[in-house]
Amino acid sequence: MRLLSVFLLVMFALPVLGQRELPQSKKDIDTTKLKERMARGAAVKDPTDTLTIEDYKIISFAGDTTYLDTTLTIQKDYKYNYLRRDDFELMPFSNVGQPYNRLGVNLNKIKWYPQLGARARHFNYYETEDISYYNVATPMTELFFKTTLERGQLLDAMLTFNTSRRLNISIAYKGFRSDGKYREDEMNSGNFRTTVSYQTDNERYRMRAHYASQDIEGQENGGLLDKEGQFESGDSDFSDRSSVDVRFRDVTNRVNGKRYFLDHQLRLLGGGRDSLSRRGSLSLGHHFEYESKYYQYRQADNTNEYFGELIFQPVDDQAFIKTYYNQLRLGFKNKVIGDLQAKVSLYSYSYYFKSILQTPGGVIHNRLTGEEVVAGAAWDKDLGAFRIQAEGGVGVSGDLAGSYLDASVYVPLGEKHNFSAGIHHSARKPNFNFLLYQSDYLNYNWDNSAVFENEQVQSLFARFNSKTWGILEGQLSSVENYSYFRSTADAEAIEQGEERSFIRPFQEGERINHLRIKYEKEFKWRKWALNNTLLYQQVDQPGNILNLPALTMRNTLYFSSDVFKKAMFIQTGITFKYFTAYYMDGYNPILAEFYTQDREELGNFPLLDFFINAKVRQARIYFKLEHFNSPFSNNNFYAAPDYPYRDFVIRFGLVWNFFS
């Protein structure tokens, strides 16, 4: 993978010889929404027109279109990480690429069907909704580079181009490796993506497709063996973290997946280019998706029985899933009704293990297969200044999906303010590893496919966005049959260190209510700014099941200015992050899942980062001192029980766009 990363770096860096400087439309805007008509393709331009950054468009899975953004903002600093998105509600482990514990939660379901599981290994997995499509005037390259911990680097390279203004292609690869500071801590991953988008000249037919191949693998050390004596004590003999004892050696887990995606649409009747007549237009659409994926846990050290009694040796647990998704939709659109679509979907799945397993508790079957048929509809309508969107469906046949509904309204309140609100409902089975699992460890075998019921989530949410007052979001959610992992070990077993030998899935029969309120606001004075993000959460539940910090906050004080006769733009400052103590979820490497625990409260420590960021033409350069306060604080900074957060480290890198 290192050779492939170097090859891609050389290949994508070649356009620097012919790069051109493009005028930036606005300096302080992070992203700009385009009109709906722009999402259907590039506008015809006069060849003599000057190209601007607005001629390079990024189209999301939902069809929202933004310009390529080469500005340098504090939001870009928040997204300059392994995930390439704001990780405010996540708590990373010690090494880059390892799991993230949750500091916040949104209980609304994005997927209408159960997933494989092993969610702690999926933070860097590109789902269908994470893939972007492009519409560019000339070939464009983006390079993302960042140092990691010890040996290894992180590189995300993307090239997009078109053979005509109607056909756009992109190729991207994200390669990563990091050894980490602790023993048995190495992480590596590779994410290959390629996309195609096309539309005919009269826009009667349009399509988009992508292929993704992803492999995410990491060593698992089981956490600290003697956290009080070697970590929390501050003993200088263990300031070199490679000398700290960990639980495991020769243990890895891995997620590997491949996906083929196609979505295309043909306009059957009416509707010219970018027009909405009263008679309207009729269209037929098709969405196809095939994905194969597996999760593997391997343990060569057979003498370690930390997870209980072994059935087979060496440990090599593997779970597989193959899914096919087909959706047909018939759409009608005019000025009176708006955009109305009727949909019918067929979802075929096969989740399986290699063999049927006979245990003292009974037979554990090796396969869950079936087909789901869901009928639904979607509606999008502008009513004056208001915009209403709704989508829902109900399961016609099958056992996994019950029903879903998402509805929202958007209301502009003048030029500086807007308000949106909505509801969410979903009823579906939990992920497959809750329903069926096999392991070479005796206690990690179960079949709940006949007893676990649909998780039901109902939510109300609202968002007020103001250029004057900031962004205020609120959501109240209620969930029934909440599925989670926890240990059934008694006090004696826990005292003997056997808590993780008895982790199993459960469903909570009583209702759990969750309230979250999030506020974001930036205050500016001359060249200084203070950016603030606060998240308040409250959970009403029968026990310590859904555990979250009551308050999470992030404050960044920074200075911005042009320097060197405006040849460079810089931002420098300090970011402070803090969350209150709570029963932080424990991590289980066999399942690559987090489990609830109520023995140990963690949190209540500050995280301070110092940064200097700069922009030169289309290059954004980042330099950061992460957690620089750790040498002066108590060693109580954990990301999960027995798993510490990283110590002070200096990291740097860049994001660079080239235009040919």
Query: Distance between CA atoms of 427 and 401, rounded to whole angstroms?
Result: 7
CA neighbor of 330 nearest in space, from 367, 360, 375? 375
The pair of three-digit structure tokens given for residue 179, joined into one six-digit string: 């050894």
Percent of the chain with pLDDT over 90: 77
Given phi > 0 = left and psi -120 to 50 = alpha, else beta, which region is 379? beta
Entry field: residues in the chain: 660
CA-based torsion, 593, 595, 600, 603: positive or negative: positive
Average pLDDT of the chain? 90
Amino acid at 299: Q
pLDDT of residue 277: 54
Place of tokens 């050290």: 301
Query: Distance between CA atoms of 562 and 390, rounded to whole angstroms?
Result: 46
Q: What are phi and psi of 69, to 5 degrees?
A: -115, 110
The pair of three-digit structure tokens given for residue 353, joined into one six-digit string: 């293990």
pLDDT tens per residue, range 175-233? 999 999 999 999 999 999 999 999 998 889 999 999 999 999 999 999 999 999 999 99
pTM: 0.90
Query: Distance between CA atoms of 489 and 386, rounded to whole angstroms?
Result: 54
Mean pLDDT across 576-587: 97
Query: Distance between CA atoms of 184 and 251, rounded to whole angstroms?
Result: 8
Dihedral angle computed from the Cα positions of residues 102, 104, 110 and 115, in that order, rounded to the nearest 10 degrees: 20
Mean pLDDT across 413-421: 94
Q: Are 96 and 82 in contact (CB under 8 A)?
A: yes
Within 13 A of 74's CA, how many CA atoms are on the CB side?
23
pLDDT of residue 362: 79
Q: Does residue 632 sit in helix, strand or coil? A: helix
The helix (H) or strand (E) run that includes residue 494 is helix 491-495
Mean pLDDT across 5-17: 40
CATH top-level class for 2-659? mainly beta
Q: Are 351 and 432 in contact (CB under 8 A)?
A: yes
What 8-state DSSP symbol labels residue 276? Answer: -
What is the separation of C-alpha 337 from the centre of its chain, rounded to a whole number of angstroms? 35
| pLDDT over 50 (residue 141) | yes
Mean pLDDT across 514-528: 97
What are the beta bridge partners of residue 559? Answer: 528, 572
The pair of three-digit structure tokens given for residue 232, joined into one six-digit string: 């929390």
Q: Does residue 214 sit in helix, strand or coil? A: strand
Angle at 65 between CA 11 and CA 144, to 5 degrees: 30
Amino acid at 335: K
User: 593-595 and 643-644 as β-strands: parallel, antiparallel, unpaired?
Assistant: unpaired
Query: Distance between CA atoms of 396 and 411, rounded to whole angstroms?
Result: 35
Per-residue pLDDT band at 11 (split at 50, 70, 90): very low
pLDDT of residue 434: 97
The pair of three-digit structure tokens given for residue 141, joined into one six-digit string: 């390259």
Query: Distance between CA atoms of 219 and 84, rounded to whole angstroms?
Result: 22
The helix (H) or strand (E) run that includes residue 9 is helix 2-13
Give residue limits of the domains in the chain: 2-659
Residues 6 or more apart whose Cβ sits within 8 Å of residue 232: 634, 635, 636
| pLDDT over 70 (residue 586) | yes
Q: Does residue 236 sit in helix, strand or coil? A: helix
Q: How far is CA 449 from CA 295, 322, 452, 509, in A?
A: 19, 18, 6, 16
Q: How many Cβ atoms sit within 10 Å of the Cβ of residue 527?
A: 11
Mean pLDDT across 63-71: 90
What 8-state DSSP symbol labels residue 37? Answer: G
Angle at 120 between CA 119 and CA 125, to 5 degrees: 70
Query: Distance between CA atoms of 259 and 210, rounded to whole angstroms?
Result: 8
